[in-house]
Amino acid sequence: MKTLIVYYSRTGTTRKVAHELAEALSADIEELKERANREGAKGYLQAGRDSMRKRPAELEAVTMDPADYDMVVIGGPCWAQGMCTPIRTYGIQQKENLKKVAFFSTAGSATFSRKAVDSMASATGLTPIATMALAQKDVKSDASQALEKFVATLRAAHSQE
């Protein structure tokens, strides 16, 4: 199964998860970059505002074509109880190129993370084969069980073909 992990990370929490998933799945990985500066308190507040208003992000060009992959795993942080704008923008722009998709999110709480994953499915109209919602404290301590379960679900979905 040729897999691509696409992620956005403002603080590094989601980056950590994305790289662990890429290693576990032997997947290619692409970090989304946007033109807006999201650093510091001002960037944090603007991110929340943009997410609530569902403003599209101005993304830098991606280097990997999701149409070349059997599955694309997309993840990002929760902003204002929804998926971050770079991930929402990517999902909407690329939905026609995604054969199979899975979503993951990181947030201050697992409840907010779940809302972000749900908002991604709603924004794109895509049904993910698996989802994972992680609280930031779990990522910082040990999210290995959740990651293993998510990876196992992705592999099982592929083997059922």
pLDDT in tens, 49-108: 887 788 888 899 999 999 999 999 999 988 877 788 899 999 999 999 998 999 999 887
- pLDDT, residue 50, reads 80
Q: How many domains does the chain have?
A: 1
161 pLDDT higher than 70 = no
123 pLDDT higher than 80 = yes
Domain membership flag for residue 59: yes
The alpha carbon of residue 124 and the mean position of all alpha carbons in its chain are separated, in whole angstroms, by 13
Return the higher-pLDDT residue of 144 and 72: 72
110 pLDDT higher than 80 = no
- pLDDT, residue 109, reads 74
Q: What's the CA dihedral at 80, 83, 85, 91 to 10 degrees?
A: -160
144 pLDDT higher than 90 = no
Domain membership flag for residue 144: yes
CATH of the domain at 50: 3.40.50.360
Residue 136's domain spans which residues?
Answer: 3-155
Domain membership flag for residue 58: yes
pLDDT category at 30 given cuts 50, 70, 90 is very high
Structure tokens at 24: 């576990």
CA distances from 145 to 2, 6, 134, 149 (A): 23, 21, 11, 6
Return the higher-pLDDT residue of 160 and 46: 46
Least confident of 10-19, 72-81, 107-116, 124-133: 107-116
> Distance (Å, rounded) from C-alpha 156 to C-alpha 148?
12
Domain membership flag for residue 61: yes
Mean pLDDT of the chain: 88
Q: For residue 63, how many other CB atoms are within 10 A of its CB?
A: 7
pLDDT category at 133 given cuts 50, 70, 90 is confident
Domain membership flag for residue 30: yes
Strand partners, 128: none
DSSP 64-96: S-GGG-SEEEEEEEEETTEE-HHHHHHHHHHGG
Domain membership flag for residue 117: yes
- Taking the alpha carbons of 137, 76, 17, 156 in that order, is the dihedral positive or negative? positive
